[in-house]
């Protein structure tokens, strides 16, 4: 599967928004807690394909959650801004600030517990 196929498949999901570098800040302002997917060339990083399957499943498991996926041409520059060094990655944003980065593919239970903990109201 090519990067463009991964991207197209993800943005067909109504809970996923395609963003560029500038659009990510606008998206985060509208969604105080959101996930951002950083996907790169699946030939260099085969786990991109796996994460592209996992992200929609996470959104089904957590229906209030919204996600953005960076347009392919914006990934490298935006990754530097958000501290992403390993791909693919899901970045958890709170009020536009990085709360957590989960790089590469993880066990489903890890995604589930990390998201559940992250969404809990802060004391």
Structure tokens at 16: 């996923």
Q: Residue 104: which CATH number?
A: 3.40.30.10
To the nearest 10°, report the CA torsion of 6, 9, 12, 14. Answer: -70
Domain limits for position 98: 3-116
The confidence score (pLDDT) of residue 123 equals 63
**How many structural domains are present in the chain?**
1
pTM for the model stands at 0.93
Residue 52 belongs to some domain of the structure: yes
What confidence tier does 122 reach under pLDDT thresholds 50, 70, 90? confident
Rounded to an integer, the average pLDDT of 96-122 is 94
The confidence score (pLDDT) of residue 54 equals 96
Residue with the bigger pLDDT between 53 and 123: it is: 53
The confidence score (pLDDT) of residue 1 equals 81
Q: What is the pLDDT of residues 45-80, one digit of tens each?
A: 999 999 999 999 999 999 999 999 999 999 999 999
Alpha-carbon distance values, 104 to 22, 32, 35, 69 (Å): 24, 24, 15, 15
């Amino acid at each position: 599967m090519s990067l463009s196929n991964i991207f197209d498949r993800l943005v067909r999901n109504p809970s996923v928004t395609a963003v560029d570098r500038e659009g990510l800040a606008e998206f985060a302002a509208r969604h105080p807690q959101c996930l951002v997917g950083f996907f790169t060339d699946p030939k260099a990083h085969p786990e991109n394909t796996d994460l592209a399957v996992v992200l929609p499943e996470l959104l089904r498991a957590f229906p209030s959650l919204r996600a953005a996926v960076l347009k392919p041409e914006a990934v490298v520059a935006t990754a530097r801004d958000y501290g992403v060094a390993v791909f693919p990655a899901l970045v958890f944003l709170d009020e536009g600030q990085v709360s957590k980065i989960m790089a590469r593919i993880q066990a489903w239970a890890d995604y589930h517990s990390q998201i559940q903990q992250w969404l809990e109201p802060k004391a």
